[in-house]
């Protein structure tokens, strides 16, 4: 399957194309199409389960997909035991680490380590590293993964502790010759990989333990890391990541999904497979989604969401027109939480898009979903190129700029009490559901860094806590761009709140959903409530001369000319 790669540079043409499209030609179509698939009136307490299928429909969707993706031609030619260390790849379908472990052994031991470091605090500002909603989502992913592995004749060993402590001792106990896992790219994850490799080197296996009958001396288990998180395989890029261009169009092949045999068993004999913990057992207070989207974790739900969005609701064909929406489950794919946990493979999405194009239709929208996945790839690849500078205040370009860390002001942003309904609604949505639309993320990011002048890393770390789809590459990649410290000096990403509100929430449906006191106001005033709403904590840097915006901010600023987006 050869496709044109367009690695979309935040700097160059495609980004600007996007900008144009956002702001002008299809603005009205965006809203009218979006409203077709969004709730017509605002029920201020609705919960939308994503996907919206019942459990029977989901199981049958996943079973059918697995049937299509299983193969009985693969040959198993290894010896002994191999371990699969599950990380952010909580799936069976298109899991190359699992496949390689199966091929190279007589028994596969799947392991997930509940690493206490994931439940500590964020690097600079000490927020919880994993919020309760993402913890719940991951727990659901693990429960589903265990079920899926059991269906294939395996199981999932749940261990509490650091992978570098657990994996070497398991390798020793089971005489495993190899630990297979998916490769990560950011520093914390790389550090764990190095520690695991070091730990494994200290394990001595007897000559009989291994996958080769020729081994005559003691040896150590190996760590084999496999690339598998992106649409494009790292090895297939027509350039090295170090010289990753800002813009490129080239021929690149997307590898087909890995097809696994129906049975992967038996596993080695294990006395106690461990228990998937509850949120409380992870040291967090459990939270319930009582409003907005409630995402179900796991591969079954992920495959069902693809079926629901592409096939049942037939929304793929209008994606490009609806994708800038903010309310309800259907304006965009909502694949991101499953992509981030690895319960969904981007190559599977690619194959489903191609199937849809063949069986239904191909248009700009079907292409655009792949285009967005290439953005995701891009941030993953540039995380290799720029390393830790992604997480530093000055970003990849080492920009020197004055930021402040005013805790009180930051808290108004975090808690959704800024006096700007569009900001407050989005921030409340994030806290209540662990999700925010792409449009919302861009707007609240711009507000924090441009209007409030607050250190962008505070925002990025709060997103790290809350987002179900948190992924260091996409999160810090987008935040560095939003803060103007990404690798593109030309990008000025100021999002004007009045303009964004008028374009993307003209009837104030999103703000009234999340800030119900606005419901009683006429639609056109919900985003511009004046004295009917809390006082604005800061003036807008570039306000608006628009008739709606004559409110004074707490600090006496008056909105002036409308600029930018
Ligand atoms: P769709 O519009 O349906 O897009 C399909 C898929 O394409 C998404 O699931 C996602 O995997 C990918 N994608 C789309 N836009 C982007 C983008 N700008 N960058 C990277 N991938 C993209 N996305 C994350 O997955 N994790 C994050 O931690 C994250 N943090 C973000 C922080 C900020 C400040 C901003 C502006 C964006 C961030 N995004 C992040 C990107 C984007 O907002 C989400 O991927 C998207 O909103 C998810 O909704 P969806 O699956 O319905 O997306």
List Cα–Cα distances, 412 to 89, 119, 409, 480, 508, in angstroms.
Answer: 36, 25, 5, 22, 21
pLDDT at 184: 96
Q: Which are the contacts of 119, defined by CB distance < 8 A and separation ≥ 6?
A: 128, 129, 130, 135, 282, 283, 284
Q: Is 470 in the pocket of ligand 1 (CB under 6 A)?
A: yes
- Residues 205-220: tens digit of each pLDDT: 988 777 765 556 889 9
pLDDT exceeds cutoff 50 at 327: yes
Q: Which are the contacts of 90, defined by CB distance < 8 A and separation ≥ 6?
A: 112, 138, 141, 142, 144, 145, 298, 299, 341, 342, 343
251-255: Cβ within 8 A, 24+ apart: 251/2, 251/3, 251/4, 251/5, 252/2, 252/3, 252/4, 252/5, 253/1, 253/2, 253/3, 254/1, 254/3, 254/347, 254/350, 255/347
Pick the residue with more confidence: 41 or 371? Answer: 371
Q: Which of 166-175, 342-351, 422-431, 546-555 has the lowest mean pLDDT?
A: 546-555
CA distance linking residue 147 with residue 42, whole number of Å: 38
Q: Rounded to 5 degrees, what are φ and ψ at 234?
A: -50, -40
- Report how far ligand 1's centroid is from the alpha carbon of 340 (Å): 10
pLDDT exceeds cutoff 80 at 551: no
- Report how far ligand 1's centroid is from the alpha carbon of 81 (Å): 38
Q: Is 464 in the pocket of ligand 1 (CB under 6 A)?
A: no
pLDDT exceeds cutoff 60 at 14: no
Is CATH 2.60.260.20 the right assignment for the domain spanning 407-532?
Answer: no
CATH 1.10.579.10 domain locations along the chain: 407-532
In this structure, the residue with its CA closest to atom 31 of ligand 1 is 475
Q: Is 467 in the pocket of ligand 1 (CB under 6 A)?
A: yes
Q: Is 341 in the pocket of ligand 1 (CB under 6 A)?
A: no
In the numeric block, which tokens belong to residue 252? 């690149």
- Let me know: does 179 contact 221? Beta carbons within 8 Å: yes
pLDDT at 287: 97
Q: Is 340 in the pocket of ligand 1 (CB under 6 A)?
A: yes
CA distance linking residue 350 with residue 527, whole number of Å: 38
pLDDT at 334: 98
Q: Is 474 in the pocket of ligand 1 (CB under 6 A)?
A: yes
CATH 1.25.40.80 domain locations along the chain: 301-386
- Residue positions forming the annotated binding site: 319, 332-336, 372-379, 469-471
Q: Is 381 in the pocket of ligand 1 (CB under 6 A)?
A: no
CA distance linking residue 341 with residue 321, whole number of Å: 27
Q: Mean per-residue pLDDT for 497-515?
A: 97
- Residues 343-359: tens digit of each pLDDT: 999 999 999 999 999 99
For the chain, what is the mean pLDDT?
Answer: 88
CA distance linking residue 54 with residue 210, whole number of Å: 45
- Let me know: does 382 contact 388? Beta carbons within 8 Å: no
- Let me know: does 184 contact 193? Beta carbons within 8 Å: yes
For the CA of 337, the closest atom of ligand 1 is 25
pLDDT at 90: 98
For the CA of 369, the closest atom of ligand 1 is 5
Q: Is 336 in the pocket of ligand 1 (CB under 6 A)?
A: yes
- Let me know: does 100 contact 91? Beta carbons within 8 Å: no
pLDDT exceeds cutoff 80 at 417: yes
- Report how far ligand 1's centroid is from the alpha carbon of 31 (Å): 20
In the numeric block, which tokens belong to residue 313? 């609701």
**Best residue among 434, 474, 476 to mutate for probing ligand 1, ranked by most atoms within 8 Å of CB:** 474
pLDDT at 493: 79
CATH 3.40.50.620 domain locations along the chain: 58-205+218-296
In this structure, the residue with its CA closest to atom 52 of ligand 1 is 334
pLDDT at 555: 33
Which helix (H) or strand (E) is 324 found in, with range?
none
pLDDT exceeds cutoff 80 at 224: yes
For the CA of 323, the closest atom of ligand 1 is 2
- Report how far ligand 1's centroid is from the alpha carbon of 116 (Å): 27
- Residues 266-316: tens digit of each pLDDT: 999 999 999 999 999 999 999 999 999 999 999 999 999 999 999 999 999
Q: Mean per-residue pLDDT for 65-83?
A: 94
Query: How many Cβ atoms from other residues are within 10 Å of residue 556's Cβ?
Result: 7
- Report how far ligand 1's centroid is from the alpha carbon of 336 (Å): 6
Q: Is 305 in the pocket of ligand 1 (CB under 6 A)?
A: no
- Report how far ligand 1's centroid is from the alpha carbon of 525 (Å): 30
Let me know the angle formed at the C-alpha of 498 by 494 and 500, rounded to the nearest 5 degrees.
65
Which pLDDT band, with edges at 50, 70 and 90, does 544 fall under?
low
pLDDT at 249: 47
Report helix, strand or coil for 129.
coil
For the CA of 346, the closest atom of ligand 1 is 11
pLDDT at 21: 31
Residue carrying the six token digits 């690493």: 115
pLDDT exceeds cutoff 60 at 125: yes
| Architecture of the domain whose range is 301-386 | Alpha Horseshoe (1.25)
Query: How many Cβ atoms from other residues are within 10 Å of residue 180's Cβ?
Result: 28
- Report how far ligand 1's centroid is from the alpha carbon of 25 (Å): 23
Pick the residue with more confidence: 20 or 315? Answer: 315
In the numeric block, which tokens belong to residue 380? 């993953």
Measure CA 231 to chain center.
14
Q: Which are the contacts of 9, defined by CB distance < 8 A and separation ≥ 6?
A: 15, 245, 246, 247, 378, 488
- Report how far ligand 1's centroid is from the alpha carbon of 474 (Å): 7
Is CATH 3.40.50.620 the right assignment for the domain spanning 58-205+218-296?
Answer: yes
For the CA of 445, the closest atom of ligand 1 is 34
List Cα–Cα distances, 450 to 33, 426, 454, 496, in angstroms.
Answer: 31, 17, 8, 10
Q: Mean per-residue pLDDT for 30-40?
A: 36
- Let me know: does 117 contact 162? Beta carbons within 8 Å: yes
Pick the residue with more confidence: 401 or 511? Answer: 511
Q: Which residue blocks in 346-495 are alpha helix, DSSP H?
A: 346-359, 364-386, 407-414, 421-433, 438-446, 456-466, 472-482
pLDDT at 212: 63
> Which of these, 356, 380, 317, lies nearest to 8 by C-alpha position?
380
CA distance linking residue 353 with residue 254, whole number of Å: 13
Q: Which are the contacts of 465, defined by CB distance < 8 A and separation ≥ 6?
A: 122, 127, 128, 129, 130, 131
pLDDT exceeds cutoff 80 at 565: no
- Report how far ligand 1's centroid is from the alpha carbon of 308 (Å): 19
Q: Is 332 in the pocket of ligand 1 (CB under 6 A)?
A: yes
**Best residue among 230, 395, 469 to mutate for probing ligand 1, ranked by most atoms within 8 Å of CB:** 469
The pairing of strands 176-182 and 81-86 is parallel
CA distance linking residue 185 with residue 524, whole number of Å: 46
Which helix (H) or strand (E) is 107 found in, with range?
strand 107-114
Kindly tell me the burial class for residue 154, based on how many C-beta atoms sit within 10 Å of its own C-beta (0-12, 13-18, 19 or more).
Answer: buried
Residues forming beta bridges with residue 404, ordered by sequence position: 454
DSSP one-letter code for 219: B
pLDDT at 297: 98
CA distance linking residue 9 with residue 6, whole number of Å: 9
Q: Is 339 in the pocket of ligand 1 (CB under 6 A)?
A: yes
Query: How many Cβ atoms from other residues are within 10 Å of residue 520's Cβ?
Result: 10
Which pLDDT band, with edges at 50, 70 and 90, does 489 fall under?
low
Q: Mean per-residue pLDDT for 16-28?
A: 29
pLDDT at 248: 41
pLDDT exceeds cutoff 60 at 33: no
CA distance linking residue 21 with residue 444, whole number of Å: 20
**Best residue among 309, 437, 438 to mutate for probing ligand 1, ranked by most atoms within 8 Å of CB:** 438
**Best residue among 369, 376, 476 to mutate for probing ligand 1, ranked by most atoms within 8 Å of CB:** 376
- Residue positions forming the annotated binding site for FAD: 319, 332-336, 372-379, 469-471
Which pLDDT band, with edges at 50, 70 and 90, does 22 fall under?
very low
Measure CA 91 to chain center.
15
- Residues 394-414: tens digit of each pLDDT: 999 999 999 999 999 999 999
Pick the residue with more confidence: 73 or 137? Answer: 137
């Amino acid at each position: 399957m050869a496709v044109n790669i367009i690695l979309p540079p935040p700097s160059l043409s495609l980004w600007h194309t996007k900008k144009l499209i956002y702001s002008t030609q299809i603005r009205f179509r965006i809203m009218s199409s979006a409203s077709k698939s969004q709730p017509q009136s605002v029920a201020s307490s609705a919960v939308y389960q994503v996907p919206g299928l019942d459990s029977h429909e989901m199981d049958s969707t996943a079973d059918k997909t697995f049937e299509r993706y299983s193969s009985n031609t693969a040959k198993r030619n290894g010896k002994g035991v191999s371990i699969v260390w599950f990380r952010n790849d909580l799936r069976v379908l298109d899991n190359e680490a699992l496949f390689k472990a199966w091929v190279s052994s007589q028994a596969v031991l799947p392991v997930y380590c509940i690493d206490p470091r994931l439940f500590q605090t964020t690097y600079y500002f000490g927020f919880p590293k994993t919020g309760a909603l993402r913890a719940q989502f991951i727990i659901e992913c693990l429960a589903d993964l265990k079920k899926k592995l059991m269906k294939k004749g395996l199981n999932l060993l749940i261990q509490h502790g650091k992978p570098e402590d657990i994996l070497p001792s398991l390798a020793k106990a089971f005489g495993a010759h190899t630990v297979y896992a998916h490769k990560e790219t950011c520093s914390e994850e790389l550090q764990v990989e190095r520690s695991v490799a070091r730990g494994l080197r200290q394990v001595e296996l007897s000559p009989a333990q291994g996958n080769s009958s020729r081994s005559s001396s003691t040896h150590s288990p190996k760590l084999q890391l496999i690339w598998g998180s992106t649409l494009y395989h790292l090895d297939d890029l027509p350039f090295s990541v170090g010289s990753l261009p800002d813009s490129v169009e080239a021929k690149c092949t997307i590898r087909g999904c890995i097809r696994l045999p129906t049975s992967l068993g038996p596993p080695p004999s294990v006395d106690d497979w461990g228990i998937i913990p509850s949120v409380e057992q992870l040291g967090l207070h459990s939270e319930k989604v009582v409003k907005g989207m409630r995402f179900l974790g796991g591969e079954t739900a992920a495959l069902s969401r693809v079926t629901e969005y592409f096939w049942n609701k037939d929304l793929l064909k209008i994606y490009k027109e609806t994708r800038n929406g903010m309310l309800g489950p259907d304006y965009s794919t909502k694949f991101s939480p499953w992509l981030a946990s690895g319960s969904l493979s981007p190559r599977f999405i690619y194959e489903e898009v191609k199937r849809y194009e063949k069986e239904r239709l191909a248009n700009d929208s079907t292409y655009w979903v792949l285009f967005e996945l290439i953005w995701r790839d891009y941030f993953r690849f540039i995380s290799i190129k720029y390393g830790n500078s992604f997480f530093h205040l000055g970003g990849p370009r080492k920009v020197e700029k004055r930021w402040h860390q005013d805790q009180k002001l930051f808290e108004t942003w975090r808690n959704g009490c800024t006096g700007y309904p569009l900001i407050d609604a989005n921030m409340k949505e994030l806290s209540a559901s662990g999700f925010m639309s792409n449009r919302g993320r861009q707007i609240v990011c711009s507000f924090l860094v441009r209007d409030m002048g607050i250190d962008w890393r505070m925002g990025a770390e709060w997103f790290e806590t809350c987002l179900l789809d948190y992924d260091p590459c996409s999160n810090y990649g987008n935040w560095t761009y939003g803060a103007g410290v990404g690798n593109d000096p030309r990008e000025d990403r100021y999002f004007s709140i009045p303009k964004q509100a008028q374009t993307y929430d003209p009837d104030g449906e999103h703000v009234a959903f999340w800030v119900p006191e606005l419901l009683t106001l006429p639609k056109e005033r919900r985003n511009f409530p004046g004295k009917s709403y809390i006082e604005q904590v800061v003036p807008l840097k570039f306000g608006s001369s628009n008739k709606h915006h004559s409110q004074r901010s707490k600090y006496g600023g008056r909105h002036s000319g409308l600029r930018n987006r």
